[in-house]
Amino acid sequence: MNNQSKIYIAGHRGMVGSALARKLTAEGHTNLITRTSKELDLRNQAAVNEFFAQEKPTHVFLAAAKVGGILANNTYRGEFLYDNLMIQNNVINAAKDNGVEKLLFLGSSCIYPKLAPQPLKEDYLLTGELEPTNEPYAIAKIAGIKLCDAYRHQYGCNFISVMPTNLYGPNDNYDLEKSHVLPALIRKFHEAKKRGDKAVTIWGTGSPKREFLHVDDLADACYYLMQTYDEPGLVNIGTGEDIPIKDLALLIKDIVGFEGQLEHDLSKPDGTPRKLMDVSKLKAAGWTARIGLREGIERVYESLSGESWY
């Protein structure tokens, strides 16, 4: 992939896609192709085929997906399965039919079995039952991995798959009903500071551990793997380190400058005790995360202004 390569970013307005666009632009790539969902419905096979036939991209980053939290995943199960299967099948197949040199497919850590050992190794895929609440999304992503591998085997396509851990960064979702824990805590502490509250409450004991990767690090890893990695299967992308939710809350409390107390609602569940990615395969490929958690959260919070970010 060089500066003249014609690169299509599917999902360029999302948190991951926009980070990929920033990274590629910073590296001097000017021939980027993007389409909004209104301009190109990736669920429409004929429209996707026509787009690829006209534009003829040489490289594709497939970051487009229908995404949401546990509630959305569990409520709109048919939509999440159908839409994601259609999006990725259409893009991957059109890439094959139009001679795309390389495609990178982005999945999610929810592909792993609910009770898989920790840390999560790539080999644990399809070794047990999935978490029921996000099973449709996970099944779609697993199908995407397998389609990339099948096209590599049958047609010689250079298609690779990566599975990022929990992400945060620019263009995150701060809706308290739908967001993940890190952006939700940033908003909670920010609003509590503004109101002069005496305490912020978090669910459960705060003992479960989670891993967090800045989306700019993910974009850097994807850019690196697009140029250097050429193997079937999948590659985990993460930091290889996790943090208890209570410690994360205290870190965000400090960064935001909230001076009240941290309280626990013990009537609420803790959730899965741990979800950590094994990143030894990624390190062996030559890439390691660079942005520390404090630095990353400070960057995010400093970039937010007023209330326009949520």
Q: Is residue 2 situated within a structural domain? A: no
Is pLDDT at 298 greater than 70 in this prediction?
yes
| Cα angle: 170, vertex 204, 135; to 5 degrees | 65
Is pLDDT at 197 greater than 80 in this prediction?
yes
- Kindly state whether residues 247 and 236 are assigned to the same domain: no
Token pair listed for 25: 């632009």
DSSP string, 175-235: -TTTS-HHHHHHHHHHHHHHHT-SEEEEES-S--EE-EEEHHHHHHHHHHHHHH---SS-E
Q: In the block, which residue shows the tokens 């803790």?
A: 270
- Kindly state whether residues 229 and 251 are assigned to the same domain: no
Residue 84 belongs to a domain with what CATH number? 3.40.50.720
Annotated binding residues: 11-17, 106-109, 141, 164-167, 180, 188, 203, 210, 270
Domain count, the chain: 2
User: For position 308, what pLDDT does the model report?
Assistant: 57
**Residue 40 DSSP code:** -
- Active-site amino acid positions: 137
Q: Is residue 176 situated within a structural domain? A: no
Q: Is residue 120 situated within a structural domain? A: yes
Q: Whole domain around residue 156: which residue ranges?
A: 7-168+211-240+280-284
Residues 210 and 179: their CA atoms lie apart, in Å, by 15
What's the pLDDT tens digit per position in 147-181? 999 999 999 999 999 999 999 999 998 887 767 89
Of 273 and 56, the structure prediction assigns the larger pLDDT to 56
What's the pLDDT tens digit per position in 61-100? 999 999 877 778 888 899 999 999 999 999 999 999 999 9
User: For position 56, what pLDDT does the model report?
Assistant: 98
- Kindly state whether residues 160 and 189 are assigned to the same domain: no
Contacts of 295 (CB under 8 A, 6+ apart): none
CB 170 within 8 A of CB 19: yes
Q: In the block, which residue shows the tokens 């940033």?
A: 186
Is pLDDT at 307 greater than 70 in this prediction?
no
Q: 279: closest CA among 245, 242, 244?
A: 242
What's the pLDDT tens digit per position in 246-256? 999 999 999 99
Q: Is residue 175 situated within a structural domain? A: no
> Alpha carbon of 146 to those of 40, 154, 160: distances in Å?
25, 12, 10
**Residue 260 DSSP code:** S
- Kindly state whether residues 225 and 204 are assigned to the same domain: no
Taking residues 5-31, report their average pLDDT.
Answer: 97
CB 69 within 8 A of CB 179: yes
Taking residues 10-39, report their average pLDDT.
Answer: 97
- Kindly state whether residues 139 and 191 are assigned to the same domain: no
Q: Is residue 173 situated within a structural domain? A: no
User: For position 306, what pLDDT does the model report?
Assistant: 59
Annotated binding residues for NADP(+): 11-17, 106-109, 141, 164-167, 180
User: For position 310, what pLDDT does the model report?
Assistant: 57
- Kindly state whether residues 126 and 201 are assigned to the same domain: no
- Kindly state whether residues 156 and 247 are assigned to the same domain: no
- Kindly state whether residues 220 and 189 are assigned to the same domain: no
Q: In the block, which residue shows the tokens 């995404």?
A: 67
- Kindly state whether residues 186 and 51 are assigned to the same domain: no
What's the pLDDT tens digit per position in 108-120? 999 999 999 999 9
User: For position 175, what pLDDT does the model report?
Assistant: 83
Is pLDDT at 295 greater than 60 in this prediction?
yes
**Which residue type is seen at 11?**
G
User: For position 135, what pLDDT does the model report?
Assistant: 93
Taking residues 15-30, report their average pLDDT.
Answer: 97
Q: Is residue 219 situated within a structural domain? A: yes
H-type helices in the chain, by residue range? Answer: 15-26, 45-55, 70-75, 77-97, 135-155, 181-195, 215-228, 245-256, 280-284, 293-303
User: For position 309, what pLDDT does the model report?
Assistant: 58
Taking residues 210-233, report their average pLDDT.
Answer: 97
Annotated binding residues for substrate: 188, 203, 210, 270
Residues 239 and 214: their CA atoms lie apart, in Å, by 9
Q: Is residue 199 situated within a structural domain? A: yes
Residue 203 belongs to a domain with what CATH number? 3.90.25.10
Work out the pLDDT band at 305, boundaries 50, 70, 90.
low
User: For position 270, what pLDDT does the model report?
Assistant: 83
The percentage of the chain sitting over the pLDDT mark of 70, rounded to a whole number, equals 98
What's the pLDDT tens digit per position in 121-155? 999 999 999 999 889 999 999 999 999 999 999 99
